[in-house]
Amino acid sequence: MSQRDAFLSRISGALGRDRPPQLPPSAPPYSVGPPDEIAERAALVTDMMKRNADNLFATLAHVAESAGWNVARVPDPRAAGKRILEIAKDLEARLGVFSPHPIVRAALRADPFAGSGIELLPVALGLDESESPQRGRERLRAAMAVADLGITGVDYAIAETGTCVIIPKAGVSRLVSLLPPVHVALVERGQTLPSLDELFTLRRNDFMQGETRSYMNLITGPSRTADIEYTIVTGVHGPGEVHMILVG
Amino acid sequence: MQPRTTQFRQNSASALADERIQRNLAGLYSGFHSARIDASSATADWESLRARGHEIKSHVIENLDYYLNTLADSVERAGGHVFFAKDAEDASSYVVEVASKRGIDLVIKSKSMLSEEMGLNERLEAEGMEPVETDLGEYIIQLAGDTPFHIIAPAIHKSREEVSDLFTERLGAPRYEDIEDLTKEARRQLRQKFLAAGMGISGANFLVAETGTVALVTNEGNGRMVTSMPKVHIAIAGMEKVVPSIEDLAMFLRLLIRSATGQMLSSYVTAVTGPRLHDEEDGPEEFHLVIVDNGRSRILADEHLRESLLCLRCGACMNACPVYRKVGGHAYGWVYPGPIGAIVSPMLTGLSDGKDLPYASTLCGACKEACPVKIDMPRMLLYLRKELTQGDSYPEHRSADAAERLAVKGWRASASSDAAMRATNLAARLGQALLSRGGEISKMPGPLSGWTDHREFPRAQKPFRSRWPLGDDAARRPRDER
Ligand code: SF4
């Protein structure tokens, strides 16, 4: 008997049966709804996200502030680029790293950092074809470890909790929003979901469609701890200062 | 971690006499407890969320064999390895085997109470490896060679001065007065470890059966480091952590986080599904999930105690418990303190070892009230007391319990007749008058002394049951308001 079977048969025994049931237990009380309606529900969410974009954006700005983000609202990507430069100058930054999300590339297109003396480095493998992925990872990690700020886009934002959701993929590192002491997140109009429920509905739909990813981060304000005498300190292992720039 | 659950009485007496511990415990109530109440009242439909949470977790526990089977398939589909561990020894050996096969000696860890339960650090050290705790509280505990005081805030019993001494002594750091400087020092020290470690070990707050996802709730960012930086990530999880679908996470994250720290969401929630995919920028090459029984199937097999497996490990019952708030986490002598610890510790470490723990409660119901998944802890504590008093399997304790058992029996016999019960109550009140000074009973004789040695027992003015026919509301109101 395999180690897995032995384990499961002990569980079955504790529950008073011989082996695990082969079919799903009757009517699982899913908190939101059964899997066969998932595509429809996901479509409703996407639609609502677009229709209520303005309201959701306004709520997000408000809630994110109380969750510890520094929130700024700008009309377009170009203005976002200028805002990023201001943040970097305030920090007296020397090196910034960024994930080449489309919105970040748009914000940096007009080259706002030209002549500022601040270096900006894209974190993505394969930009230099002569470099092996292994070497590329090492080089980028070393850069991120000394960078003064990390700039990213987001996949979604959540109005209920003031959260940015980042799903790492090609061109989106797990570490740009983690290793540098300051994180700047650009959120576009139309990316805000009302609550956690809608996020997980969309993720479940992605999963059902076979679009899986190994990782997802929900980021709500700065890294913090209250482990010594309940005193809140930010910037323990992740960024102690976080900026959310709402674009559009 | 070696259980010291037999020593509840001694442990709690010394905690009660320790001013520093008493001061730090007071902070729990004003901090976490009130934050939880604020966060839950700010959540729409909190009560129906709790009911729903209870329902879904119960469903999973009743079908745990099915859901674990599904979960294992899903993790493997995502490219991860699954190991089912019968006990702590099994689980630790698996971790050691993975590490030694790859020649890894530096292991970074994010907070996991299961790892404490397994004694994983001791085991890794015995194999010549270096395990490093990276949650600030756990890091302090590890440097001090101490054990966690609270499942959410493990080092909350230590003052800044003690942490400062510890950092000077163990790390050669300068003496810092400031908590912020102490935190920065830990950041510097641990950054080096994050960059160099070959393996990251995390716990798991939830395991999603449908997708094979491990969900982690953290605030410091160490959970993200542990799951992103090293080449190998191992998540260790108690077998009860399963939820059916990723859609259930929304509700369970609200219930857990708002009950634990009172935040609307923790700084980070991380969802890990297998190792990094080939086109992803970074992340571990290997992912392992170790699912651990270690006595849990014993709890599962007991229908009266099965409900304790619903626990989300939020800590709310501890913060709410009048006993925990006086004696603190170390008194319970094992990884899980407070009301839920008083139930699961005796079951996981062996009932006779934890025989004092089910008595470490006033049965006031504050734990059940606070619990985000409505676990009926008072019911289970009573059940365990009954098992301990009536059980024949713990002969070494029988003589001590005989008097108490007789007393309960006597009460049962007399309660069956109204007149007899009135007579007994009268006798009891007369008996009390002899012992008490100024309305408080300071000592009970003989085997009942355990009930009064550490607290004043208010003298019954009127027998409890005689208040009901009179419609005396005072009996129904919580003590504070009387
Ligand atoms: S028993 Fe309930 S309140 Fe206590 S830690 Fe578990 S989930 Fe939280």
Instruction: Quickly list DSSP for B284-327.
Output: -SEEEEEEE-TTHHHHHH-TTTGGGGG-----HHHHH-TTHHHH
Cα within 13 Å of Cα(B292), Cβ side:
29
In whole angstroms, give the CA distance from residue B350 to residue B173.
42
- pTM of the complete model beyond 0.90: no
Q: Is residue B331 part of a domain?
A: no
- Ligand 1: centre distance to CA B8 (Å): 21
Position B181 in a domain: yes
B380: nearest Cα among B298, B297, B462, B303: B303
| B156, B182, B228 member nearest A174 (Cβ) | B228
Domain final residue pick, B277, B296, B315: B296
What string of pLDDT tens digits covers the 248 residues of chain A?
788 999 999 999 999 999 898 877 776 666 666 777 899 999 999 999 999 999 999 999 999 999 999 999 999 999 999 999 999 999 999 999 999 999 999 999 999 999 999 999 999 988 888 888 889 999 999 999 999 999 999 999 999 999 999 999 999 999 999 999 999 999 999 999 999 999 999 999 999 999 989 999 999 999 999 888 878 899 999 999 999 999 99
- Among B265, B296, B327, which residue terminates a domain? B296
Domain ranges within chain A, ordered by starting residue: 3-247
B396 interfaces chain A, CB cutoff of 8 Å: no
CATH architecture label of A3-247: 3-Layer(aba) Sandwich (3.40)
Q: Is A204 an interface residue toward B (CB < 8 Å)? A: yes
Q: Are residues B287 and B426 in the same domain?
A: no
Structure tokens at B223: 């959970």
Residues of B in contact with A19 (CB under 8 A): 65
Q: Is residue B132 part of a domain?
A: yes
**CB < 8 Å to A193, chain B:** none
If you ran DSSP here, which 8-state letter would residue A24 be given?
Answer: P
| Domain that residue B216 falls in | 43-296
pLDDT of residue A114: 94
User: What is the nearest CA distance from A132 to chain B, expressed in angstroms?
Assistant: 12
Cα of B361 from ligand 1 centre, angstroms: 15
B281 to A124: CB separation less than 8 angstroms, yes or no: yes
What is the ipTM metric for this complex?
Answer: 0.96
User: Could you give the count of Cα atoms lying within 13 Å of B233 in the half-sphere of its Cβ?
Assistant: 28
CA distance B184 to chain A (A): 7
**Nearest atom, ligand 1, residue B367 CA:** 3
| B428 pLDDT above the threshold of 50 | no
Judge whether A244 and A57 are in contact, CB under 8 Å: no
* Long-range Cβ contact pairs of B393-402 (< 8 A, separation 24 or more): B393/B351, B393/B352, B394/B351, B394/B352, B394/B355, B396/B352, B397/B352, B397/B355, B400/B447, B401/B447, B402/B447
Residue B165, classed as helix, strand or coil, is: helix
Q: Is residue B146 part of a domain?
A: yes
Upper half-sphere CA count for residue B412 (Cβ side, 13 Å): 6
Does any ligand 1 atom lie closer than 6 A to the CB of residue B311?
yes
Judged by CB atoms closer than 8 Å, whether chains meet at B65 and A230 is answered as: no
B373 C-beta closer than 6 A to ligand 1: yes
Chain B, window 62-81: residues with a beta carbon less than 8 angstroms from a chain A beta carbon: 62-66, 68-69, 72, 78
Q: Touching check for B95 and chain A: CB below 8 Å? A: no
Token match 């290793």: residue? A179
Q: Mean pLDDT over all residues of chain B?
A: 80
Query: Is some CB atom of chain B closer than 8 A to the CB atom of A232?
Result: no
Residue B35 located in a structural domain: no
B257 touches chain A (CB under 8 A): no
Asked whether residue B459 is assigned to any structural domain, the reply reads yes
What total of structural domains would you count in chain B? Answer: 2
Is residue B95 one of the residues assigned to a domain? yes
Cα→Cα distances B440→B407, B432, B434, Å: 21, 9, 11
Q: How far apart are CA B379 and CA B375, in angstroms?
A: 9
How crowded is residue B86: how many other Cβ atoms within 10 Å of its Cβ? 16
The H or E element containing residue B10 is helix B8-17
d(CA A109, CA B463): 81
Q: Which residues contact A54 (CB under 8 A, 6 or more apart)?
A: A189
d(CA B463, CA B447): 22
Could you tell me which residues come within 8 angstroms of residue B349 by beta carbon, excluding any fewer than 6 positions away?
B3, B5, B295, B334
Does residue B402 surpass a pLDDT of 50?
Answer: no
Domain-located, residue B284: yes
CA A12 to CA B69: how far, in whole Å?
11
Judge if the beta carbon of residue B366 lies within 6 A of ligand 1.
no
